[in-house]
Amino acid sequence: MIKKYVFGNPIETDSVIEKIDASGEKLPYFDADESKKELTLTMDRSARIYGLGETVRGINKRGYIYVSNNSDDPFHLEEKKSLYASQNFFVYWDKDLVFGMYVDTPGRVTFDIGYTEINTFTIGFDDFDADIYVVTGSGVTDIVRQFRKIIGKSYVPPRWAFGFGQCRWSYMSADEVREVVDNYDKLGMPIDSVYLDIDYMERYKDFTVDNERFPDFENFVKEMKARNIHLIPIIDAGVKIEEGYDVYEEGVAGDYFVKKENGDRLVAAVWPGKVHFPDFLKEDARKWFGDKYNVLLDKGIDGFWNDMNEPAIFYTEDHLKEVFDGIEEYKGRNLDIRSFFAFKDLVGSIDNNPEDYRRFYHEYKGQRIRHDKVHNLFGYNMTRAAGEAFKRNSPDKRILMFSRSSYIGAHRYGGIWCGDNRSWWSHILLNVQQMPALSMTGFLYSGADIGGFSADVTEDLLMRWTQFGIFTPLFRNHSAEGTRRQEYYRFTDKDGLKKMLQLRYALIPYLYSEFMKAVNNDDMLFKPICFDFPEDEMAQDTEDQLFVGESIMVAPIYRQNARGRYVYLPETMKLLRFRSYDDYDTEILDAGSHYVKAELDEVLVFVRKGHALPLAKPAARVGNIDTSDLSYECFECESTDYELYTDDGISR
Ligand code: MIG
Continuous H helices in 195-282: 217-226, 246-253
What is the pairing mode between strands 592-597 and 630-635? unpaired
List Cα–Cα distances, 552 to 586, 611, 642, in angstroms: 14, 8, 12
What is the pairing mode between strands 31-33 and 38-42? antiparallel
Burial pattern 576-594, b for ≥16 Cβ within 10 A else e, equals: bbbbbbeebeeeebeeeeb
pLDDT number for residue 624: 98
Of 320, 308, 598, 544, the closest CA to residue 432 belongs to 544
Task: Decide if 360 contacts 317 (C-beta within 8 A).
Answer: no
- pLDDT confidence of 45, banded at 50, 70, 90? very high
pLDDT number for residue 242: 98
Beta strands in 175-247 (DSSP E): 193-196, 230-236, 239-240
Cis-peptide, bond into residue 311, ω within 30° of zero: yes
Task: Decide if 403 contacts 410 (C-beta within 8 A).
Answer: yes
DSSP 532-584: TSTT-HHHHH--S-EEETTTEEE----STT-SEEEEEESS-EEEEEEEETTEE
Q: Phi and psi for 381 in degrees, rounded to 5?
A: -75, -20
Q: 303-343 pLDDT, tens per residue?
A: 999 999 999 999 999 999 999 999 999 998 888 999 999 99
- The residue type of 74 is P
Instruction: Locate the ligand 1 atom nearest the alpha carbon of residue 167 and give its number.
Output: 5
Helix (H) / strand (E) containing 589: strand 583-589
Residue identifier of the C-alpha nearest atom 6 of ligand 1: 308
420 alpha carbon – ligand 1 mean position (Å): 7
232 alpha carbon – ligand 1 mean position (Å): 14
- Give a three-class secondary structure readout of 439-450: HHCCCCCEECEE
Instruction: Locate the ligand 1 atom nearest the alpha carbon of residue 197 and give its number.
Output: 2
pLDDT number for residue 192: 99
pLDDT number for residue 617: 98
Residue identifier of the C-alpha nearest atom 11 of ligand 1: 420
Burial pattern 332-352, b for ≥16 Cβ within 10 A else e, equals: eeeeeeeeeeebeebeeebeb
Q: What is the mean pLDDT of residues 460-470?
A: 99
- CA 103 – CA 30 distance, rounded (Å): 12
Counting ligand 1 atoms within 8 A of each CB, the residue from 199, 420, 454 with the most, and so the one to mutate, is 420
404 alpha carbon – ligand 1 mean position (Å): 9
Determine if ligand 1 sits within 6 Å of the CB of residue 476.
no
pLDDT number for residue 34: 94
pLDDT number for residue 68: 98
- CA 300 – CA 218 distance, rounded (Å): 7
- Residues counted in the chain: 652
416 alpha carbon – ligand 1 mean position (Å): 14
Determine if ligand 1 sits within 6 Å of the CB of residue 372.
no
pLDDT number for residue 391: 98
Instruction: Locate the ligand 1 atom nearest the alpha carbon of residue 312 and give its number.
Output: 1
Q: What is the mean pLDDT of residues 494-512?
A: 98
Determine if ligand 1 sits within 6 Å of the CB of residue 73.
no
- pLDDT confidence of 494, banded at 50, 70, 90? very high
Q: What is the mean pLDDT of residues 79-94?
A: 98
- The residue type of 378 is F
Instruction: Locate the ligand 1 atom nearest the alpha carbon of residue 453 and give its number.
Output: 4
Determine if ligand 1 sits within 6 Å of the CB of residue 272.
no
Of 158, 148, 98, the closest CA to residue 525 belongs to 148
Q: 567-614 pLDDT, tens per residue?
A: 999 999 999 999 999 999 999 999 999 999 999 999 999 999 999 999
Q: 141-190 pLDDT, tens per residue?
A: 999 999 999 999 999 999 999 999 999 999 999 999 999 999 999 999 99
Q: What is the mean pLDDT of residues 384-391?
A: 98
Q: Taking the CA atoms of 49, 16, 385 and 8 in sequence, report the sign of the dihedral they define.
A: negative
Task: Decide if 197 contacts 166 (C-beta within 8 A).
Answer: no
pLDDT number for residue 421: 98
Instruction: Locate the ligand 1 atom nearest the alpha carbon of residue 481 and give its number.
Output: 5
453 alpha carbon – ligand 1 mean position (Å): 9
List Cα–Cα distances, 514 to 206, 401, 405, 643, 651, in angstroms: 35, 20, 25, 9, 18
Beta strands in 127-229 (DSSP E): 130-135, 165-166, 193-196
307 alpha carbon – ligand 1 mean position (Å): 7
- Tell how far CA 41 is from the center of its chain: 29
Determine if ligand 1 sits within 6 Å of the CB of residue 52.
no
226 alpha carbon – ligand 1 mean position (Å): 29
Determine if ligand 1 sits within 6 Å of the CB of residue 371.
no
Cis-peptide, bond into residue 170, ω within 30° of zero: yes
Task: Decide if 541 contacts 565 (C-beta within 8 A).
Answer: no
- CA 514 – CA 522 distance, rounded (Å): 11
Determine if ligand 1 sits within 6 Å of the CB of residue 106.
no
Task: Decide if 166 contacts 191 (C-beta within 8 A).
Answer: yes
Beta strands in 1-37 (DSSP E): 2-7, 31-33
Task: Decide if 543 contacts 426 (C-beta within 8 A).
Answer: no
Q: 4-16 pLDDT, tens per residue?
A: 999 999 999 999 9
Q: 190-213 pLDDT, tens per residue?
A: 999 999 999 999 999 999 999 999
74 alpha carbon – ligand 1 mean position (Å): 9
Determine if ligand 1 sits within 6 Å of the CB of residue 197.
yes
Residues in Cβ contact with 486 at an 8 Å cutoff, skipping those fewer than 6 apart? 168, 451, 457, 462, 477, 478, 479
- CA 619 – CA 405 distance, rounded (Å): 33
Q: 154-166 pLDDT, tens per residue?
A: 999 999 999 999 9
Counting ligand 1 atoms within 8 A of each CB, the residue from 83, 166, 167, 308 with the most, and so the one to mutate, is 308
List Cα–Cα distances, 154 to 131, 185, 199, 307, 413, in angstroms: 21, 33, 31, 20, 8
257 alpha carbon – ligand 1 mean position (Å): 23
Q: Is 44 exposed, middle or buried (0-12, 13-18, 19+ CB in 10 A)?
A: middle
Counting ligand 1 atoms within 8 A of each CB, the residue from 73, 75, 170, 197 with the most, and so the one to mutate, is 197
Residue identifier of the C-alpha nearest atom 5 of ligand 1: 169
What crossing angle do the helices spanning 494-521 and 459-469 adopt, rounded to 10°? 30
DSSP 369-395: EEHHHHGGGHHHHHHHHHHHHHHHH-S
234 alpha carbon – ligand 1 mean position (Å): 9
Output DSSP code: residue 281. T
Q: What is the mean pLDDT of residues 255-281?
A: 98
pLDDT more than 70, % of the chain: 100
What crossing angle do the helices spanning 283-292 and 246-253 adopt, rounded to 10°? 160
Determine if ligand 1 sits within 6 Å of the CB of residue 404.
yes
- CA 625 – CA 476 distance, rounded (Å): 19
Counting ligand 1 atoms within 8 A of each CB, the residue from 307, 403, 427 with the most, and so the one to mutate, is 307
pLDDT number for residue 288: 98
pLDDT number for residue 461: 98
Of 494, 470, 469, 465, the closest CA to residue 557 belongs to 465
Determine if ligand 1 sits within 6 Å of the CB of residue 199.
no
- CA 380 – CA 602 distance, rounded (Å): 38
Counting ligand 1 atoms within 8 A of each CB, the residue from 73, 76, 172, 234 with the most, and so the one to mutate, is 234
The 10 Å Cβ neighbour count of residue 626 is 10
pLDDT, mean over the chain:
98
pLDDT more than 90, % of the chain: 99
Determine if ligand 1 sits within 6 Å of the CB of residue 420.
yes
Task: Decide if 69 contacts 376 (C-beta within 8 A).
Answer: yes
Of 265, 246, 250, the closest CA to residue 205 belongs to 246
